[in-house]
């Protein structure tokens, strides 16, 4: 599939969400805190919305997995983000630079999470969007989404000697943890591939 086709699919899904919510373009733009002109361009496939607009859609109950890649439910619900979860943490540097959503919208294994909390501060701010790949679950050094304490958190993994992994927050107010690579493998939800900073 060509990039233009992927952008068109994203534009069509944005329009479908708006129509299912029974809003005009102007009303939906206002709900997203986006300009009317920018919103028209989203639906026309001329530009791709950034992390701030995606986070606003998520707060309205839009399943961002479905919006970005067509997986999940297209019906806006109050629980649409539950599979994605809110992040109790902030991640640092991604392996890739900040990517345009058009480049990731087609992948069925990418998941987005809105940043909340401060365990990885000051690298990210509330409202930033972290993209991680659910298919990338190898225990290796890098930034990952982890299932811990009933929620998803972003941490850095550092491989140590003798099959031990250190799980590191960026914020010095939080403590690092160590565990075996087998234990770490059981809680890795995916490796971070991109961070979309709120502007």
CA distance 118 to 121: 5
Collapsed DSSP state (helix, strand, coil) of residue 161:
coil
Find the Cα–Cα–Cα–Cα dihedral 68, 44, 76, 55, rounded to 10°: 60
DSSP string, 30-98: HHTT--HHHHHHHHHTSS---HHHHHHHHHTT--HHHHHHS-S--S--TTTTTTT-EEEB-----SS--
Q: Take residue 152 and report the two structure tokens written for it.
A: 């998803």
Q: With a threshold of 0.75, does the pTM exceed it?
A: no
70 is written with which tokens?
């067509």
CA 58 to chain centre: 10
Return the CA Rg of the chain. 17
pLDDT (tens place) for every residue of the chain, 199 residues total: 566 777 888 899 999 888 888 889 999 999 888 899 999 999 998 888 887 788 788 777 787 778 877 766 665 443 332 223 233 333 333 333 233 344 444 456 777 788 788 888 887 777 777 888 888 888 888 889 998 888 888 998 999 988 899 999 888 998 999 999 999 999 999 988 777 776 5
CATH H superfamily, domain 3-69? lambda repressor-like DNA-binding domains (1.10.260.40)
Q: Distance between CA atoms of 22 and 82, rounded to whole angstroms?
A: 23
Query: What is the reported pLDDT for 178?
Result: 95
Tokens matching residue 132: 């991680």
Q: For residue 36, what pLDDT is reported?
A: 94
Quick check: 160 and 177 in contact, CB under 8 A? no
**Beta carbons within 8 Å of 41's beta carbon, 6+ residues apart:** 47
Domain ranges of the chain: 3-69, 86-196
CATH 2.40.110.10 is the classification of domain 86-196: no
Q: Can you give the pLDDT at residue 107? A: 59
Instruction: Decide if 110 contacts 132 (C-beta within 8 A).
Output: yes
Exposure string (b/e) for 157-167, b if CB count within 10 Å is 16 or more? beeeeeeebbb
Bridge partners of 180, per DSSP, are: 164
């Amino acid at each position: 599939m060509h990039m233009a086709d992927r952008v068109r699919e994203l534009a069509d899904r944005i329009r479908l969400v708006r129509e299912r919510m029974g809003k005009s373009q102007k009303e939906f733009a206002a709900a997203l805190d986006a300009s009317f002109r920018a919103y028209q361009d989203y639906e026309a496939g001329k530009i791709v919305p950034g992390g701030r607009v995606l986070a606003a859609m998520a707060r309205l109950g839009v399943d961002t997995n479905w919006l970005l890649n067509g997986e999940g439910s297209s019906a806006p619900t109050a629980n649409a983000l539950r599979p994605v979860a809110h992040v109790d943490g902030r991640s640092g540097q991604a392996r890739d630079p900040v990517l345009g959503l058009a480049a990731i919208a087609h992948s069925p294994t990418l998941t987005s999470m809105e940043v909340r909390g401060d365990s990885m501060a000051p690298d990210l701010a509330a409202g930033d969007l972290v993209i991680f790949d659910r298919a990338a679950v190898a225990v290796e050094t890098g930034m990952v989404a982890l299932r811990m304490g009933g929620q998803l958190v972003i941490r850095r993994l550092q491989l140590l000697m003798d099959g031990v992994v250190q799980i590191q927050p960026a914020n010095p107010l939080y403590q690092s943890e160590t565990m075996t690579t087998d234990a770490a493998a059981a809680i890795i939800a995916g490796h971070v591939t991109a961070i979309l900073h709120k502007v």
